[in-house]
Amino acid sequence: MVNIDELKFNAHGLIPAIVIDDDTGDVLMMAWMNEESLKISLEKKLTCFWSRSRKELWLKGETSGNYQHIIEIKADCDRDTLLVYVKPDGPACHLGNYSCFVDDVLPREDDEHEKFTIHGLMELIKGRKTEKKEGSYTSYLFEKGLDKILKKIGEESSEVIIAAKNDRKEAIYEISDLVYHMLVLMAEMDIDTKDILHELASRHVIDKKVKQEKMTS
């Protein structure tokens, strides 16, 4: 544990705080904290920063409703920078973007597949539910409803089993189909990827405790 008095604030009494989505690992924003705003953040478990332009404290989300619920705060080895892990209630950027970091300075040279995330796919699927797109297979599934989605999951599950007995490449293809349809089901039932991660994390904690108990017994 690091105490506040062990942190190294700069000459202006500030320390940079990099805010990270605890579920996705995405960097959401960077802002400054002073000792008072850090104390408020620790007390409320909500991010509070110091505005250098307005010369005042600001609780993130106080006007927009996009609060950031603090899960963990870490200091770097020099204790002059903070990583703040949060569960956000909404976009971090004042422009309405999920993250403030959206503009490329040096674009990736990697394959476009490297930018793909399950979180991004889920957001696309949710968009096809709220705003139907003509010719979209995803929108078609939502229009047909739960029974159609469940039927597809049953079909894809069977295909995964068959593929897994035959060929690795074929199994990857069929598993991908199954995962996609599972995400559609989740969107239909208003289940987020975060809900699944939380459930898996809780099982991991329980499993870890059981192992520790066995070791001490």
Share of the chain above pLDDT 90, in %: 71
The CATH class given to the 4-88 domain equals: alpha beta
Chain-wide mean pLDDT for the chain? Answer: 91
Residue 66, Cβ neighbours under 10 Å: how many?
16
Nearest CA among 60, 73, 55 for reference residue 100: 60
Q: Which residue has 């008095």 as its token pair?
A: 5
Look at 150 and 216; give whichever has higher pLDDT: 150
Rounded CA-CA distance 32/14 in Å is 6
pLDDT surpasses 80 at 185: yes
Query: Burial of 93 by CB count in 10 Å (0-12 exposed, 13-18 middle, 19+ buried)?
Result: middle
| Domain span(s) for CATH 1.10.287.1080 in the chain | 112-211
| Domain span(s) for CATH 3.10.20.810 in the chain | 4-88
pLDDT surpasses 80 at 9: yes
Give the pair of three-digit tokens for residue 13.
């009494």
* pLDDT tens figures, 50-85: 999 999 999 999 999 999 999 999 999 999 999 999
- Which residues of 52-199 form beta strands (DSSP E)? 56-59, 68-75, 82-88
Query: Burial of 37 by CB count in 10 Å (0-12 exposed, 13-18 middle, 19+ buried)?
Result: buried
Could you tell me the CA-to-CA distances from 90 to 31, 82, 199 in Å, in that order? Answer: 17, 21, 21
Q: What is the DSSP string of 12-24?
A: TS-EEEEEEETTT
Check if the beta carbon of residue 132 is closer than 8 Å to that of residue 140.
no
Q: What is the CATH architecture of 112-211?
A: Orthogonal Bundle (1.10)
The predicted pLDDT at position 71 comes to 96
Q: Where residue 107 falls among pLDDT bands split at 50, 70, 90?
A: confident
- Give the CA dihedral 164, 170, 174, 175, nearest 10 degrees: 60
* pLDDT tens figures, 193-208: 888 988 988 887 666 6
The verdict on pTM exceeding 0.95 is no
Check if the beta carbon of residue 121 is closer than 8 Å to that of residue 179.
no
The predicted pLDDT at position 208 comes to 65
Give helix then strand counts, H and E, for the chain.
6, 6
Share of the chain above pLDDT 70, in %: 91
pLDDT surpasses 70 at 211: no
Residue 67's Cα: distance from chain center in Å? 15
For the segment 161-184, the average pLDDT, to the nearest whole number, is: 97
Q: What are the phi and psi torsion angles at 14 (to 5°)?
A: -120, 155
